Structure 1
Amino acid sequence: MARPHSPEASDQGEFVRLLLQHQDALLVFICHLVPNRDVRDDVLQEVNLLLWEKREEFELGTNFRAWAYAFARYVAMRSRTKAIREGKVAFGHELIETLADEFEEEDPLLAEGMPALRECLERLTEEDRALLLMRYRKHGAVEQFAESTGKSSAAVRGVLFRLRIALRRCVERGMNPSFPLG
């Protein structure tokens, strides 16, 4: 005989769905606040653990993203305090607050554009996608890519410029189907 689902179980399932749904946005928010690439994954993991520990405090139907961002802001500050103790920081808490506030003002547009961006990236050739990923994952990768393909750095920068324009137009069309194609 099957056990009936308890309200707690369905609430927990909804919480997990919300947590998974907002992972990309959380990571982008954290990247905006934490300049050190090596620390970002640790901050995201800690935020996820805190969110899970505090899940009973979240009220379903309220703004999960704002609630999660508050935790991310807190963890980013704590991470920064640790970095200060270790002598690894170049900016203050005020900057994190300013960056977080600015990001949250822009976030709805970013969230709307992510699915369209993913779809547009899928439409690119493998080589173009590899170039974009190399450029944005590794600082200074343009020269490396140019060397590996036998192209000049200027030619690679030109391709990147055209790809960014094409992606922007593709995303705008994806977010607004009435957007002009030309």
Structure 2
Amino acid sequence: MASATGFHSDLLAAIPSLRAFAVSLAQNADKADDLVQETLVKAWDKQKSFQPGTNLKAWLFTILRNEFYSQMRKRGREVQDSDGTMTGRLAVHPSQDGALDLQDFRRALKQLPEDQREAIILIGASGFSYEEAAEICGCAVGTIKSRVSRGRTRLQELLQISGEADYGPDSIAAQVLGSNVA
């Protein structure tokens, strides 16, 4: 029974990461919650097929991803959020520039092809290695690396980022901050 207890606690610990990935796929918090719930039910039901010592988080992400695509096939079409209404309801944004940058990033991320967006989220936001992401997506490591590279390049184009100087405070703010340093 101790292994079931450990499995249970590991499932609970993975929920925030699963939810973040589900939100990025479903583009809707309610649908993401349903997706995570379905993933947890399937994982609990199939816990005997999980091999201890392997990566539980990657196993769960694979279940979630497969469930998402199964649901998409059943619906026959993807939910569109072209005006950003659903995305805007996911969180209340502060009025600082960072919130505007985040909105710009979300819009740009949504413009990426689905395979590139998924790879960027798995590697950049969820912290998976290329090998783990390749396992989750069911493709070669080189394919994941290529998707991430093409996705990053396209994001730079969409966000009009040319280099490191495009990050951080603008030149006026940098001067003000520089003059306050003793």
TM-score, length basis structure 1: 0.47
Larger radius of gyration: 1
TM-score, length basis structure 2: 0.47
